[in-house]
Amino acid sequence: MKKIILMLLVFFLGTKMFAQQDSQYTQYMYNTVNVNPAYAGSRGALSIFGLHRTQWVGLDGAPVTNTFSMNSPLGDSGLGGGISFVNDRIGPTAMNNISADLSYTILVSEKYDLSFGIKGSVGLFNLDTEKLHIYDQSDANLVSVKNEFSPNVGAGIYFHSDKTYLGLSVPQFLQTKRYADNDRAVYLDKMHVYLIGGHVFDLSPSLQFKPAFLLKAVEGAPLQLDVSGNFMFNEKFVLGASWRWGAAVSAMAGFQVTNGMYIGYGYDLETTKLSYYNAGSHEIFLRFELVNKNRGFISPRFF
């Protein structure tokens, strides 16, 4: 009877049926630690980050994601650490993921560092059948799931300077089946591989331009490529746009409120037939940084 649930969730989960995609972010360049543990501590400050994303506004059961993370260098040891929490809701399902990151950085030249990171995480999966239209209310197999526990591990490398970065990571190595019926699963986590990169060009003393990309691959789902370009004016205002291959175009804006506080907003417009049924996607985030007085303040940057 669990195949009935499979049919009922098709509308909500789409391509997520057999290869559940990780949470999607338009402003991925500010949220790197969630996909690459080697990023932890790379900004040289205690970095506190919060994000809210509402996807496909107006479409019932569409994804809603809330993210919170903290990461910091651990003294002068070359180590960095971080923790993060992601709540991802799609239709009748909710996934809470709690992660801890540890990184180690080595100096490879006067300008470039190479960081290695490991990630440990636990997932708590929930399915509320009361949000489903069930044909046979007496079916004992149609039960809710509450806080189904699954551990996982991941790793990444991150090559970076003040102007350039390139990273490769796998946040979760282990595959997890949820609400499985023989060889099928309503919700299946598979290994994701991320390749990210970007470079900052100084066009003038008051204008910087940074192109960036994110490539995400997972078995059973289309390859996802995000390409973006952002302009920073007077180290205060940021304006940019991005393109998601075969899916959406986006506009982004940001403002450096104080030396330690940055706020950003992104809007996605679907380029698929799904655009007929929703009013786009909204994403807003806030980053706050506390700097070690002995280190001084790091100059504002895109990553």
CA proximity to 212, closest of 25, 50, 80, 84: 25
Which tokens hold the place of 250? 């986006």
Pick the more confident residue, 68 or 144: 68
Domain ranges in the chain? 2-251+260-290
One-letter amino acid identity for 184? R
Strands 192-199 and 201-204: unpaired
Pick the more confident residue, 222 or 10: 222
- pLDDT tens for 76-122 read 899 999 999 999 998 888 899 999 999 999 999 989 999 999 999 99
Residue 200 CB partners (closer than 8 Å, separation 6+): 162, 163, 164, 208, 209, 210, 301, 302
Q: What is the pLDDT of residue 20?
A: 52
Whether the pLDDT of residue 288 is over 90: the answer is yes
Q: What is the pLDDT of residue 214?
A: 96
Which tokens hold the place of 206? 């008051």
Q: What is the pLDDT of residue 24?
A: 84
Output Rg (C-alpha) for the chain, integer angstroms.
Answer: 20
CB 31 within 8 A of CB 285: yes
User: Residue 255: beta bridge partners?
Assistant: 237, 263
CB 295 within 8 A of CB 44: yes
Read off φ and ψ for residue 109, nearest 5 degrees: -165, -175
Q: Which long-range contacts (CB under 8 A, 24 or more apart) does 298-302 make?
A: 298/43, 298/44, 298/45, 299/162, 299/235, 300/232, 300/235, 300/236, 300/256, 300/259, 300/262, 301/162, 301/200, 302/29, 302/30, 302/198, 302/200, 302/208, 302/210, 302/212, 302/230, 302/232, 302/238
**pTM for the predicted model, two decimal places:** 0.85
| CATH, domain 2-251+260-290, list 2.40.160.40, 3.60.20.30, 3.40.50.720, 2.60.120.260 | 2.40.160.40
CA proximity to 211, closest of 36, 29, 25: 29
